[in-house]
């Protein structure tokens, strides 16, 4: 289940990253930002739902571990932040860290809240 979720998450991450990059450009890592925030929301939502249901353990392996584990891109986020700083754009790097952490936290909270409300 982890492998199945991971395969789907990796493909979704690549496809969404390419799509967003083609629409918004690559000056700021918009694709990585959207992927991390949506991944935060999905993990909060799915874990809240799974905690309140009698769903099989397989769902825990499939979604938060497999899919989200491959879908989110924290290592890419860190690399792109470092690259911005090394390229003489420290404000872009700092902005990436601040908005990703703050909005990612809000997305986890919203997903978790919605998941609890629905169950």
How far apart are alpha carbons 23 and 15 in whole angstroms? Answer: 12
What angle is formed at CA 26 by the lines to CA 29 and CA 72, rounded to 5 degrees? Answer: 35
Under DSSP, the state recorded for 62 is I
Under DSSP, the state recorded for 81 is H
Arithmetic mean of pLDDT, 78-103: 94
Supply the pTM of this predicted model.
Answer: 0.80
pLDDT tens digits for 1-39? 999 999 999 999 999 999 999 999 988 999 999 999 999
pLDDT tens digits for 42-65? 999 998 898 888 878 899 899 999
Nearest C-alpha neighbor of 2 from the set 85, 71, 64:
64
Asked if the model's pLDDT at residue 97 lies above 90, the reply is: yes
Domain that holds residue 44: 2-118
Tally of CA atoms within 13 A in the half-sphere of 36 that contains its CB? 23
Counting the structural domains of the chain, the total is 1
**What's the pLDDT at 27?**
86
Contacts of residue 26, Cβ cutoff 8 Å, sequence gap at least 6: none
């Amino acid at each position: 289940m982890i492998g199945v979720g991971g395969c789907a998450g990796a493909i979704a991450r690549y496809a969404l990253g390419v799509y967003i990059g083609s629409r918004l450009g690559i000056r700021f890592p918009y694709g990585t930002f959207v992927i991390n925030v949506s991944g935060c929301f999905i993990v909060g939502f799915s874990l809240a739902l799974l905690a309140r249901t009698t769903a099989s353990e397989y769902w825990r392996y499939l979604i938060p571990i497999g899919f989200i584990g491959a879908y989110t891109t924290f290592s890419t986020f860190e690399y792109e932040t470092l690259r911005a700083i090394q390229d003489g754009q420290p404000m872009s790097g700092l902005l990436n860290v601040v908005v990703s952490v703050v909005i990612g936290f809000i997305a986890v909270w919203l997903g978790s809240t919605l998941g609890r409300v629905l169950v």
